[in-house]
Each structure stands twice: as structure tokens, then as C-alpha cells.
Amino acid sequence: MAGEALARAAQLWSLLDEMAENEPRAYRRLLRQQRAEAERLYAPPEPHLCLRARPAGAAGRPLFINVCSWKRVPAPKAPTDPTPVSAGPLEVVSGEGDLYSIIDIAYNPDVLQRGEENPEKKKHLIHLTLKFVEERCNLNLSYLYTIESFKLKGSLEMMQQRLKGKQMPTPHLSHNTTKELTLDQLLHSMEAEDCSSAPVLLKEESVTQSKVHLIEEISSTEMPQNLSTPVYEMITVKDANKKPLKIELKIELPKVSSVSECDLRISKDDIIIEVPEKYKLQLDLPELVDEETTTAVFNKGKQVLFITVAVAKPDP
């Protein structure tokens, strides 16, 4: 196992060295893409606002809900799509002579920003948050809540650790949480650190108040991801009279080891190449093509996919 890992690492460095020497612009573009993705994944959650709620119908200890902003949580792809959210555990805390409960909820920054720009959206998001906490923690909350003057109940470090699902440190130990990212970590950032808290999707309630599931649980492997756009080069081959003959497409896939991982779909005017959890590329073709003539060859050594397709003949 260790030998295989070392061999893969050596192959990776060899490919990167080759890219850096032969295609420096593509190499720099790859590093920028991976660095941006790694920064998104490693960015810690930040406090946004704190809600104070209580159980419905009877006096009980207060519940503080830290609503946080976290770039790792994806934004909805469309306004009508469910809202992804990540949550930490519900904890009971003894402080200042009182008992209270606390839970941390994280949304994508864009979701929270829309709430700040539109009071109705903010109110609706708070309503969804309370419903989510009720269902997740088996509580019955009063919908009379307070937005506290402070953004966070408790310490910043403990909130971030709860959301990330890490083991709580003992009170007298100090931890250096700064991590230096190596190039290998950057290239494998999607696999290097996974969100241990199970993400969920918050669904909008129907206007008719029919019975619908507000919360849809999904596994961590199903958490929506931003797939990388691979480096590519597309050229149109023409004859001596400058008449288009065929289209050649070269796609660099440094994370792919076999053509079986690739899903290729081509129509008369566009092409889609997708590698699950890694890459997605969708291109409009410069000419109408005959998709039946498509050929695809994957060079394992260079980890490059070559696609050739003939330009469609004009209708007689």
C-alpha cells in the first residue's frame, strides 16, 4: 500500500514537472485553480448572527443558534433549489450560573448575504433554520425568537471545531490550527479533508401547507461540489481551401488514470466531458459535426484525452 502511494506520488510529480517544462501556462493555470479550490475548502466557518429560542409551551433552558457563514457549504444552484446547510451537534452548556443549549448552523455566504439584502428572505431563512433544528434535534421550539446583539455564543474556536466535527480539546491545552498546505494537498484538496457533519438540504414549504418533508438528508459523498474545469485546447482543421474538415480537442486530466472514468456526450453543436467528483467541461462547437464519427483516445502516460470529430457535410 505504501509502495503504491509512493509510486503514484512520483508519477504525479513527474507529470507536473513535464507540464511545467512543456506547458508553463497550463501549469500555472492548474495551480491557480487548485489553490483557489483549496482556499475555499480550508476556509473556516465565521459567525454571522446568533438566535435565542426557547422550547414551546413551557419554561425551559434557552437555546442559542449560531448561524455561521462557511464557504465550504455550497450555494443553491437555482433560487427554487433546496438550500444546503451544515450543522454541528446540540450541546448543553453550563455558564454564568445558567444552563443553556447551543448548536451551530452554517450556510454558504451568498445565502446569508441575500438575507441581509432582503428582510423577508432573512425572516424566511430563520424560520427554516428553526424548523431544521426542531427536526434534527427532536425539539418543539417557540417561534418567538430573538436576534442577539452579539454574533456568536461561546468561543470562535469551539464553534469551528463543532462544525468541522473534530474532537473537542481539553480546556487547558492550546492547539495550533494553522496548517501549511503542500502542493500535493492542493492537488488533492477535494479528497484531503471531508466535511464530517452530514450536510442536508432545506426545502421550501409549499404555499398550500401540504405535507412535505422540510429536510432531506444526504450522505457526505453526495454533497454538491464545484467540479474543476480542465485545461483544454480546441482547433478546427481545414483543407487547402480553408473548408472545415474536423475538430480536434485536447483535454488535460491530471487526476484521471483511466478512460473508464470519463463520461463523454456529444451532439451536433456541443460536447460535454465529465469525470464524477473531479472535472466537468461543456463546450459549444465552432462547426456542426457528425457525432457518429467521434473518436476518443486517452493517453495514460500524459493523462490527456484526445477527441476528434468530423465536421458535418452540408445538406444537398
Q: Which residue has the cell 442577539?
A: 148
Helix (H, G, I), strand (E, B) or coil at 65: strand
DSSP for 232-294, written as a single string: EEEEEEE-TT--EEEEEEEEE-TT---GGG-EEEE-SSEEEEEETTTEEEEEE-SS-B-GGG-
286-262-271 Cα angle (round to 5)? 15
Secondary-structure breakdown of the chain: helix, strand, coil percentages, each rounded to the nearest 5: 30, 30, 40
Helix (H, G, I), strand (E, B) or coil at 195: coil
Contact 86, 197 (CB under 8 A): yes
6-8-9 Cα angle (round to 5)? 65
Q: Tens of pLDDT along the chain (316 residues)?
A: 556 666 776 777 777 777 777 777 777 777 777 776 666 667 889 999 999 988 875 557 889 999 999 988 888 888 778 888 999 999 988 766 678 899 999 999 999 999 999 988 898 899 889 989 988 888 888 767 889 999 999 899 999 888 887 433 333 323 333 333 344 443 443 333 333 344 566 654 433 333 333 333 333 344 445 678 999 999 999 999 999 999 999 999 998 887 778 888 888 889 988 888 888 999 999 999 998 888 888 888 889 999 999 999 887 6
Q: How far apart are CA 10 and CA 8, in angstroms?
A: 5
